[in-house]
């Protein structure tokens, strides 16, 4: 095993997660919550119908802006949660300190990694950098490709409660 260069001399490509779980812009806030919970992730890139990168919803924003006004509010588009500030990004060949500076300047714990055309190719989080500094690289699983993945999972919402004399979904009388 060859020793790695000091972190400040390494590139963003060496730390970034390239096989990302993303969500389509038209999906709901509830879908974003479901995806993040099921996948155990704290950052969810949002892409348009052509796969263009629109921004990132993080768990902190999702919980801070959650509206408990009922199912209709939970079904609003996930794009409602995208930050209004300019979204910064770094390139795969940038040094890791550039990613850290970008996080500090934007006040986030993540930075998107885009190619020269602005297409999303990865994500670096503060957790990634801390893991590397601690000498405990995170297991990012097998990278299937250089392109982000788009997974669709449909949440199952409960229907209306059964009326008098009707049976519940499980067949029990109410």
Q: Which two tokens stand for residue 50?
A: 């052509």
d(C-alpha 145, C-alpha 153), whole Å: 21
Q: Which two tokens stand for residue 17?
A: 């997660």
> 57 and 46 in contact (C-beta within 8 Å)?
yes
d(C-alpha 123, C-alpha 102), whole Å: 12
> 109 and 125 in contact (C-beta within 8 Å)?
yes
Look at residue 69 in the predicted model and tell me its pLDDT: 66
Look at residue 145 in the predicted model and tell me its pLDDT: 42
126-133 vs 96-106: helix crossing angle, rounded to 10: 140
pLDDT tens figures, 35-67:
888 888 899 999 888 878 899 998 888 877 776
Over 60: is that where the pLDDT of 8 sits? yes
Q: Is beta strand 110-114 parallel, antiparallel or unpaired with respect to 120-125?
A: antiparallel
> 47 and 59 in contact (C-beta within 8 Å)?
no
- Reported confidence tier of residue 155, pLDDT bands at 50, 70, 90: low
d(C-alpha 79, C-alpha 67), whole Å: 14
pLDDT tens figures, 76-133:
888 888 876 567 899 999 999 999 999 999 889 999 999 988 889 999 999 999 998 8
> 92 and 13 in contact (C-beta within 8 Å)?
yes
Look at residue 153 in the predicted model and tell me its pLDDT: 47
């Amino acid at each position: 095993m060859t020793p790695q260069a000091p972190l400040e001399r390494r590139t963003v490509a060496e730390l970034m997660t390239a096989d990302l779980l993303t969500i389509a812009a038209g999906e709901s806030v509830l879908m974003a919550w479901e995806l993040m919970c099921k996948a155990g992730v704290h950052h969810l890139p949002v892409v348009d119908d052509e796969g263009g990168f629109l921004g990132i919803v993080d768990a902190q924003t999702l919980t801070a802006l959650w509206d408990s006004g009922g199912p209709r509010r939970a079904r609003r588009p996930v794009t409602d949660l995208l930050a209004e500030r300019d979204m910064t990004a770094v390139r795969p060949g940038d040094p890791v300190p550039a990613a850290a500076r970008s996080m500090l300047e934007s006040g986030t714990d993540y930075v998107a990694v885009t190619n020269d055309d602005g297409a999303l190719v990865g994500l670096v989080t503060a957790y990634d950098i801390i893991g590397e500094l601690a000498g405990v690289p995170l297991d990012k699983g097998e990278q299937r490709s250089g392109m982000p993945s788009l997974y669709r999972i449909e949440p199952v919402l409960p229907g209306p409660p059964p009326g008098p004399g009707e049976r519940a979904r499980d067949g029990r009388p109410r």
